[in-house]
Every structure is written in structure tokens, then in C-alpha cells.
């Protein structure tokens, strides 16, 4: 059969009329029609098929609206639009029918967006059909109006349809003003915690326009009413609530909500709903008014924005960065609190360089300065007048300055002052009370002032908005033990006599001492003043005592007298290892070594032994040589094996004055500084030779048989 356009057009005409009528019936029949399952499939293809009529109708409408100049063009257009309109109208009809079938499925109510969409769809069908039938009409303006109306209707209907599938106002949401996230302290339980969950997970199907199961969740009233199956919940009793039941049915169950495949509620979201219902399903309550350990409150903390911290807001303009830079010097630092922020902070350092002029200079920045740290600077009473001109001040630290409090009242005028420190000054209670009128004062540091703790507690009553910080006081009377006094002059070896000086870092400590080796006590022993004259080898013991403290452990000092000072000492073998000190000088520098044997005050000898030649400036009457020595068996430092003292007036002709063998070290001997005292009958000598043979490590030691070290710090000649 040959292609006959007229025949096809005729068939199309007939079909259009038929579908129009069919659509009309289904539209009127509305909710009463019963749709067989296979037709439901067709109905569900509505969202897919609708794109055809939209495009076709808009193209043909536009074609009708665009005038054609040439007659030939007009002819072609008439032909083309005629066909296009037919297909467009037919596809509209099919789409409408599909839509009506879809709408008859349960869950689509009869009001709201769906109703508008239905009517819109019908109107599109009618106008499109009319357009087709009037396509050859001679009155062009009728046709054009009709075409324009069709296009507008298509857009409107499409919009309502989109509302149904994507939710209201899907298109414009990104450019609509956003609701700012609600802070914890401002949030409502229902509005900001419960409703967003329902909105996201439930309301796509349970809204006024599309109330599946007869349930809409949009309004509180609807939530309380419930749907076809009954009430959603009984406030206060979540365990028997339909809502909870549906949420917690297994996901495979047909009645489980949200239906399988849709986004499910998280455990946390379900918990929010549970606890909200349990708490009585209040629609007005504030989150912040919930008890501190309420489950709902805890859940809310995690879900809501934290309460807006009171980040201060500064509304003044920044200062000129160059000016700020210029006002910085070595003793005064001015800097912005952060990059590109207006508020400035100023610190002062080095009290010797301070002058109130350096505060006055900053008046140029008084609009920006929010913090001034003047602690320990010699700020005087009169200077507070200058400081009070910095109206933006939030923090002012005047602790340990020279202010007396006389002029403190001027600071009460600072409108923003939040924190003021006047500790370590002599402010008294009347002066303090003048600050009562400071409008924004939150913290006032007043410890170590003329105020007693009782004063401060009393004053606190006058400052309802301000915390008076009274600092640490040793209220519980805890007694502490003082530390030992210090020896000022560290030389432990003296000639003839010495002035012993002791000191203690705590003010008001009494140092009590003994010189006979007995332990001093805090009552009877003499109190140290200025100095003690020492004339002989002495063991000094001293303790520090003060009221309110336990006395210190005794400081024990051994002071050694050396009568004769040698001219020189020559070491025949150099000291070994790293224990070389300052060479032979170390032996008569008046410095005793400590247990820190690497300190440089000790000389160490291992293999070669110690042999020293000592020369005195003139002949001396000698009866004793004391060798300062050290014992630390763990570090292989032992008493020597043997000591010989030779003496005479000529180094080449010496006679043996003394030979002794010190007591060998035993296994448990503690680390100690020792003295090897070699006494002999008085001998007139001008030079000496001292020979010390180090020991071999005894048998009890793990390293037995090896060389042992001999350490010496000082030689004393009496």
C-alpha cells in the first residue's frame, strides 16, 4: 500500500478524539476507577513519557508563533506543524492517561500539588487538541493566543509534576535564602531535631499532596492524627507506637518503613524519634531546656551546631598597619590579634625602660587596643588617667605595678573591660569597691594585695557579675620542708682562716649551724649572721628554719685548712682519660671535687700512677700531707694501693717521710670523697715528692685484675 498522508491523518484525528474522551472519563472517574496490574505498569511510565509532549508542544507552539515571510515557507510550515501538532496532541493524551492511572494508585490524595497537576494536564490536552483542530483557521491571533497558552500550561503543569516527584520547590532551592544552621542553645526539639528527620526520610511520601496510607507528616496536628492504620504514636509511650513498630520491622517486611530501597533511618535518627515520643512528643520544647544527661539532649549535641561561642565581635576599623609597626620597639610590642583583624594587643617589657610616655604614645591606637599587659612595670597612680582613655580595653593587667589604688575608680568607666589584674599591689577594700560600677567586668585578680582572704570574700558580695580571683593560699596549713642553705663561697680549702657565708633563697629564713659536727637544732643552735670565722679543719652543719615550714635537712660542709701554699706542682705523668682538669693547678686551687667526678675538679690516674713534685717558696715545717681522694667502685675508682711521701730541700736528694697503705675498698663501700692523711714527724722541707700507686681491682669486683683508677682533687700541707 502506498503512503497516503491523508489516510494517516484521518486515523490520527480519530485517535485524538478517542483518547480525549477516554482521558475525560478517567479524569472524572478519579479515585473510583480500579486499575488492573498491567495498566499500573503503563501508569508508572508517566514520568518517562511526559517528556515527549513537553518538547513537541513547545516546538509546535513556537513554530505557530514565529511568522513566515515567503509563501513557500508558509506552505512548508503549515504542512510540518500540522503533523507535529497531531503527534504532540496524541502524546499529551497518552501522557495524561498514564498520569491519571498513576494518580489512582494509593497514596495520592486529592488536594495540593497533585490536583493542580491533574487539572493542568487536562488543560494541556484540551488546548493542544484545540490547537490541532484550529490549525488552519484564518484568524491568526486566535491561533497564536492558543499556542502561547499551551506553552504556559505545559510549563506550569510540569512544575507541579516536579513538585510531586522531587519535592516542593526543587528547582529554586539552591538560590533560595538558606536557613542558617541552628545553634544548640536556640534549637527547638521538634522543629530542629525531629522534623528534619521526618522531612528527609518520610515526607516524600507522607505529605499533604501525597499522603500514602492516608498519613501526612507535615503538620503537628497530622502527626498526632495518624493515617489509615491508626494513630502514629501515643506521646510518652514509644514502645507501643505504630511509628516505632514500622521503623523496626525487618526491612524485608512489607510494612517496614521507609520501604525497602528508600533511604533508611539511622539508629541515631530512630533514637531521636524514640526519645522525643518518650518525652511526651512536645512540639514546643527547647533543646537547651532538657536535663543535662537527657538522652535526647545528648543526641542533639551531636546533631546540632554547637552553641555559638561568644566569639567577641569588634565593630571598629583597623589601625594603619604602618603606624602599628612604627609604634613597636624593643620594650613595647603592639600587634593585631590575628592577620587582617582590627583589635590590637600591647605588651611592655623591661621595667627599667618603662615610662608612662610609652603608654601615651599608644593613644593613637586607642580605638583598636583591646589588651594592655603592664604587669611588673612601674605604673603609678596618676598613670591610670591615661590608661582610662583606652575605651576599647577588654583586658588590663596591672599586677605587681606601683599603683596604690587611690585612682582605681577611673578604670570603672572603661565600658568593655572584662578582666583586670591588680594583684601584687597595695589596693585596699574601699578602693576595690569603686570598681563595682565597671559595666563589663568579669574577672578581677586581687591576690597578694592589701586585702585579706576575708576581705575578698566580703568584697565578692558587692560584685555579683565579677569573679574575684584570690589566688592560691596555703589555707590547709600544709607544712613543707625547706631546702638546705647554700654556701656562698664555694672554696672548701682555705689558708689560715676563712669567712664562711651561707644564704637561703626564701625570705625570712633563719640559718642555724654547728661547727662541731653535731646536728644543729632549730631552737638552740646559733643563728647565722653575716659570716662565720673558720680557722681550722671544720665540719659545718647548717639548717634553714622558718615559721610555717619544717626545718631543712642539714647542709654538711667540710672545710679544709692548708697552711702552706706550694709554688708549683709538677706532674711526672699526665692525668689520663677525660679527667685532666686544669692540670697540676687543680691540686692547689682550693676547690674540692664533688661526687660528679667528671666535673673537672678531679684528676684521674690509671696505669702510670700519680707522681708529683711539689715546690714551696721557702722552707716549711711540715707534719702532714692530706690527699683528697675519691671512691666509686662502680666506676672503677678505688683507694690507691700505696702512698709514699718523700721530702727534702733538693728534689734530687729526698728522703722518705712516710709510706702508707690505705685500707682497701670493700664490696659495699659507698661512693664518697675521702682524705688520705699522711702524718709524720715534723720535717723542714722545701720540696716534696708524692708517689701514689693505683690499685688493681680487687677479687670481689666483676672486673677483677684490671687497673683501678685513682682520683685526686686537692693536696693539703700542714
Partner 1 sequence: MKNEFFEHHLNMNRRKFLSRLSLGIGSAALGSLLIPDLFRNNITDEAPFVPGIPHFAPKAKRIIYLFQNGAPSQLESFDYKPKLREMMGQDLPASIRQGQRLTGMTAGQSSFPLVGSYYDFKEYGESRAWISDLFPHTAKIVDDICIVRSMFTEAINHDPALTFFQTGAQQGNRASFGSWMSYGLGSENKNLPAFCVLLSRGKGNGQGVYSKLWSNGFLDSIHQGVQFSSGDSPVLYLNNPVGIDMANRRQMLDQLAALNDQSYKSFGDPEINTKIQQYEMAYRMQTAVPELTDLSRESDDTIKLYGPESLVPGTFAANCLLARKLSESGVRFVQLYHQGWDQHGNLPNEMAGQAKDVDRASAALITDLKQRGLLDETLVIWGGEFGRTNYCQGKMTADNYGRDHHPRAFSIWMAGGGVKPGVYGETDEFGYNIVKDPVHVHDLHATILHLMGLDHEKLTFKHQGRRYRLTDVAGKVIPGLMA
The residue ranges that bind partner 1 (CB under 8 A) are: 309, 311, 330-331, 333, 335-339, 341, 347, 349-352, 375, 395, 397, 399, 419, 421, 423, 443, 445, 447-448, 469, 471-474, 478, 480-483, 505-507, 548-549, 552
Least CB distance to partner 1 at residue 550 (A): 9
Closest by CA to 470, choosing from 479, 486, 480, 459, is 459
Which lies closer to partner 1 via its Cβ, residue 481 or residue 585?
481
Which lies closer to partner 1 via its Cβ, residue 103 or residue 370?
370
Which lies closer to partner 1 via its Cβ, residue 210 or residue 373?
373
Which lies closer to partner 1 via its Cβ, residue 150 or residue 423?
423
CA distance 94 to 101: 11
Q: Tell me how far apart the terminal alpha carbons of the chain are, to the nearest angstrom.
A: 148
Least CB distance to partner 1 at residue 504 (A): 8
Strands 419-421 and 443-445, bridge-based pairing: parallel
CA distance 38 to 48: 17
Strands 610-631 and 568-571, bridge-based pairing: antiparallel
Reduce the DSSP state of residue 320 to 3 states and report it: coil
CB neighbours (10 Å) of residue 99? 27
Which lies closer to partner 1 via its Cβ, residue 198 or residue 377?
377
Least CB distance to partner 1 at residue 448 (A): 6
Least CB distance to partner 1 at residue 545 (A): 13
Least CB distance to partner 1 at residue 339 (A): 5
Q: Can you read off the three cell numbers belonging to residue 576?
A: 689520663
CB neighbours (10 Å) of residue 319? 20
Which lies closer to partner 1 via its Cβ, residue 483 or residue 522?
483
Helix (H) or strand (E) holding 5: helix 5-29
Least CB distance to partner 1 at residue 447 (A): 6
Which ranges of 134-258 would DSSP assign to H, the alpha helix?
Answer: 140-166, 189, 195-201, 220-225, 242-248
Which ranges of 402-442 would DSSP assign to H, the alpha helix?
Answer: 429-433
Q: Can you read off the three cell numbers belonging to residue 432?
A: 576595690
Helix (H) or strand (E) holding 76: helix 71-103
Which ranges of 327-378 would DSSP assign to H, the alpha helix?
Answer: 357-360
Helix (H) or strand (E) holding 714: strand 710-717
Least CB distance to partner 1 at residue 166 (A): 22
Which lies closer to partner 1 via its Cβ, residue 37 or residue 338?
338
Q: Which residues contact 491 (CB under 8 A, 6 or more apart)?
A: 498, 590, 591
Residues 86 and 16: beta-carbon distance below 8 Å? yes
Least CB distance to partner 1 at residue 671 (A): 14
Which lies closer to partner 1 via its Cβ, residue 113 or residue 509?
509
Least CB distance to partner 1 at residue 359 (A): 17
Least CB distance to partner 1 at residue 508 (A): 8
Q: What sign results for the dihedral spanned by CA atoms 381, 385, 386, 390?
A: positive
Which lies closer to partner 1 via its Cβ, residue 347 or residue 693?
347
Which lies closer to partner 1 via its Cβ, residue 423 or residue 425?
423
Decide: residue 112, CB within 10 A, 0-12 exposed, 13-18 middle, 19+ buried: buried
Amino acid at each position: 500500500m502506498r503512503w497516503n498522508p491523508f489516510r494517516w491523518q484521518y486515523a490520527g484525528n480519530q485517535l485524538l478524539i478517542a483518547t480525549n474522551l477516554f482521558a475525560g472519563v478517567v479524569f472524572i472517574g478519579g479515585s473510583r476507577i480500579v486499575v488492573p496490574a498491567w495498566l499500573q505498569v503503563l501508569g508508572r511510565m508517566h514520568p518517562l513519557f511526559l517528556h515527549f509532549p513537553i518538547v513537541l508542544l513547545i516546538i509546535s507552539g513556537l513554530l505557530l508563533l514565529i511568522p513566515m515571510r515567503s509563501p513557500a515557507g508558509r506552505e512548508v510550515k503549515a504542512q510540518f506543524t500540522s503533523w507535529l501538532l497531531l503527534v504532540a496532541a496524541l502524546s499529551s493524551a497518552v501522557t495524561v492517561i498514564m498520569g491519571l492511572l498513576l494518580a489512582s494508585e494509593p497514596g495520592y490524595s486529592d488536594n495540593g500539588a497533585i490536583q493542580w497537576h491533574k487539572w493542568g494536564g487536562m488543560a494541556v490536552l484540551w488546548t493542544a487538541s484545540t490547537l490541532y483542530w484550529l490549525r488552519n483557521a484564518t484568524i491568526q491571533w486566535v491561533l497564536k493566543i492558543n499556542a502561547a497558552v499551551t506553552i504556559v500550561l505545559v510549563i506550569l503543569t510540569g512544575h507541579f509534576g516536579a513538585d510531586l516527584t522531587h519535592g516542593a520547590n526543587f528547582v529554586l532551592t539552591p538560590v533560595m535564602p538558606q536557613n542558617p544552621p541552628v545553634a544548640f542553645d536556640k534549637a527547638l526539639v521538634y522543629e530542629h531535631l525531629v522534623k528534619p528527620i521526618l522531612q528527609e526520610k518520610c515526607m516524600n511520601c507522607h505529605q499533604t499532596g501525597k499522603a500514602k496510607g492516608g498519613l501526612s507528616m507535615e503538620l503537628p496536628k497530622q502527626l498526632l492524627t495518624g493515617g489509615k492504620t491508626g494513630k502514629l504514636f501515643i506521646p510518652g509511650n514509644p514502645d507501643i507506637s505504630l511509628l516505632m513498630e514500622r521503623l523496626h520491622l525487618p526491612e524485608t517486611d512489607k510494612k517496614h518503613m521507609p520501604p525497602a530501597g528508600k533511604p533508611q533511618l539511622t539508629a541515631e535518627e530512630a533514637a531521636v524519634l524514640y526519645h522525643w515520643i518518650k518525652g511526651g512528643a512536645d512540639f514546643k520544647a527547647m533543646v537547651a531546656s532538657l536535663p543535662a544527661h537527657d538522652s535526647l539532649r545528648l543526641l542533639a549535641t551531636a546533631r546540632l551546631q554547637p552553641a555559638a561561642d561568644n566569639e567577641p565581635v569588634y565593630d571598629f576599623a583597623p589601625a594603619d598597619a604602618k603606624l602599628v609597626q612604627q609604634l613597636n620597639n624593643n620594650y613595647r610590642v603592639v600587634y593585631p590579634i590575628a592577620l587582617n583583624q582590627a583589635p590590637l594587643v600591647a605588651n611592655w617589657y623591661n621595667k627599667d625602660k618603662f615610662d608612662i610616655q610609652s603608654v601615651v604614645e599608644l593613644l593613637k591606637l586607642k580605638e583598636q587596643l583591646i589588651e594592655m599587659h603592664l604587669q611588673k612595670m612601674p605604673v603609678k597612680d596618676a598613670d591610670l588617667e591615661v590608661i582610662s582613655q583606652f575605651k576599647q580595653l577588654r583586658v588590663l593587667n596591672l599586677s605587681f605595678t606601683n599603683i596604690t589604688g587611690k585612682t582605681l575608680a577611673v578604670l570603672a568607666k572603661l565600658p568593655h573591660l572584662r578582666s583586670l589584674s591588680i594583684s601584687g599591689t597595695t589596693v585596699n577594700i574601699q578602693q576595690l569597691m569603686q570598681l563595682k560600677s565597671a559595666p563589663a567586668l568579669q574577672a578581677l585578680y586581687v591576690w597578694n594585695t592589701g586585702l585579706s582572704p576575708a576581705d575578698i570574700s566580703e568584697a565578692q558580695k558587692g560584685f555579683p557579675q565579677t569573679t574575684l580571683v584570690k589566688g592560691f593560699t596555703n589555707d590547709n596549713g600544709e607544712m613543707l620542708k625547706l631546702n638546705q642553705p647554700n654556701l656562698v663561697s664555694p672554696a672548701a680549702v682555705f689558708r689560715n682562716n676563712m669567712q664562711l657565708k651561707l644564704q637561703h633563697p626564701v625570705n625570712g629564713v633563719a640559718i642555724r649551724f654547728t661547727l662541731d659536727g653535731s646536728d644543729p637544732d632549730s631552737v638552740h643552735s646559733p643563728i647565722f649572721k653575716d659570716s662565720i670565722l673558720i680557722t681550722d679543719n671544720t665540719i659545718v652543719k647548717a639548717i634553714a628554719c622558718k615559721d610555717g615550714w619544717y626545718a631543712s635537712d642539714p647542709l654538711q660542709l667540710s672545710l679544709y685548712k692548708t697552711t702552706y701554699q706550694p709554688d708549683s706542682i709538677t706532674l711526672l705523668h699526665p692525668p689520663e682519660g677525660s679527667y685532666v682538669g686544669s692540670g697540676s693547678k687543680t691540686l692547689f686551687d682550693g676547690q674540692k671535687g664533688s661526687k660528679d667526678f667528671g666535673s673537672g675538679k678531679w684528676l684521674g690516674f690509671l696505669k702510670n700512677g700519680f707522681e708529683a713534685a711539689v715546690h714551696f717558696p721557702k722552707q716549711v715545717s711540715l707534719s702532714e700531707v692530706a690527699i683528697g681522694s675519691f671512691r666509686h667502685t662502680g666506676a672503677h675508682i678505688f683507694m690507691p694501693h700505696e702512698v709514699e711521701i718523700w721530702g727534702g730541700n733538693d728534689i734530687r736528694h729526698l728522703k722518705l717521710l712516710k709510706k702508707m697503705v690505705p685500707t682497701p675498698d670493700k664490696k659495699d663501700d659507698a661512693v664518697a670523697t675521702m682524705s688520705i692523711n699522711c702524718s709524720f714527724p715534723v720535717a723542714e722541707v722545701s720540696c716534696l715528692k708524692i708517689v701514689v700507686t693505683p690499685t688493681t681491682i680487687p677479687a670481689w669486683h666483676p672486673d677483677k685484675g684490671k687497673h683501678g683508677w685513682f682520683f685526686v682533687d686537692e693536696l693539703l700541707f700542714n
